[in-house]
Structure 1
């Protein structure tokens, strides 16, 4: 597919957001904020920072969110929050800490079972039972942006797509304002899912999650855990390039850019990119699609605001 099939005016109407995760050590924290600074050139509508189940990354998450808002000049930083492994009182305390830090946008998630992906989920004693309940708790505290998850290929624990969409509707009824999807690679799956979501009366934005493939073996393992499939055509394009990192990088860039362009031609205008805290591939994809970079002076003004 030719990449440059979007006119400049069309590209100008597309919105980006990026996901990051808290660093595990000081060296990785340097890399995180270098990535944040690099990708800020594309003027993301917002960025999100993940959060470990039961507060396992609480300190680093709070620190990173604070730095993103007050040092990196990204007031639209969204804090992920889960309800796994914590009581309602503990989760409520974390919500208040994030609000005090300046957070005005949350990503409310149930979280993976404490036994890991594939284990049976059980609500924590006196905890919020699911993401819908967590959304309601956040909404009760004010007029916040609340994003939630969505699954074009069905959540692996849901009995069927209908049950999955019913849960999404419960989250929306409780105050969710946006859905960010699990990564996927088949745009037809996303389009069919979006049609079913709209047919269920759900009107909030459903933003496709885009995962540029830095490592094919890793993404195959990850996709297996979360119920996403990788088309054979993508595996074929990348599998023979393990010993040729330069060509593998170019092909991975093409794959992600082609996906975004195709979705844009189908009318999608918002894209959430999973960065894995690495800038090169995400930057290359954004450049290939034709997203404009903000002048340095504009970024500096944003940081000082």
Structure 2
């Protein structure tokens, strides 16, 4: 029997979930694109891990954070390429365009699970580069989670109330953009020109791309304007630029920056002299037995 080279994920898994069928869903081409981005994410992750081994273990923080981002994204894109991780939601706006005509559209909740994990890691990459204090860092991550969760709720709502959640998410995004283009950028300047350069480069890329995500949301989950295949391309290109390309620029920018300069001095067992000092046997005139007791000299009878 000859194996077919075609991608049959859409046929095998189908568009029916929980008794509802999505008649506005990806085709084989959309599935192929999702799998292509999955491959790009996977290759990027292994490259970042390989580059990490050129650094001391205590200096691999940014490599590991960035590799985690693309590996999580790879799993999400494999899921979407397999036509899984979605639920059919009744569209608010019915369109006459045959590519988006129908009653139920595939909404990929797995995309938001990906973002819930990866966007805080991306913010960690940026805010740790800027040397921001931990309270600010944690608060920005909480605001980021608000943005992602409200986006997911809005995507799953089938009435005009979805746009209220969209507005909440946009307000959260405005605060994150403020942190990246103003407060954190100024903070990064204090650590030297090279730190400011890498933060400005990666922070500017993130800011521009993240502003485009609400546009993609409004055209796909929100307004049902573009087809799911076009949605795959829109989000896929944004994610590719925001994760593998961002990661490559960040790691390249950090090549000569030691994390200790940014307040990230991490101890390593191999380089910790105090640990080896404790393990080194001590030679003295008095020997202790296995229980730690000093043997007593026997008295003559």
Given the two structures, how large is their TM-score scaled by the length of structure 1?
Answer: 0.24
Instruction: Say which structure is richer in strand.
Output: 1
Given the two structures, how large is their TM-score scaled by the length of structure 2?
Answer: 0.25
Greater RCO, CA 8 A, separation 6+: 1
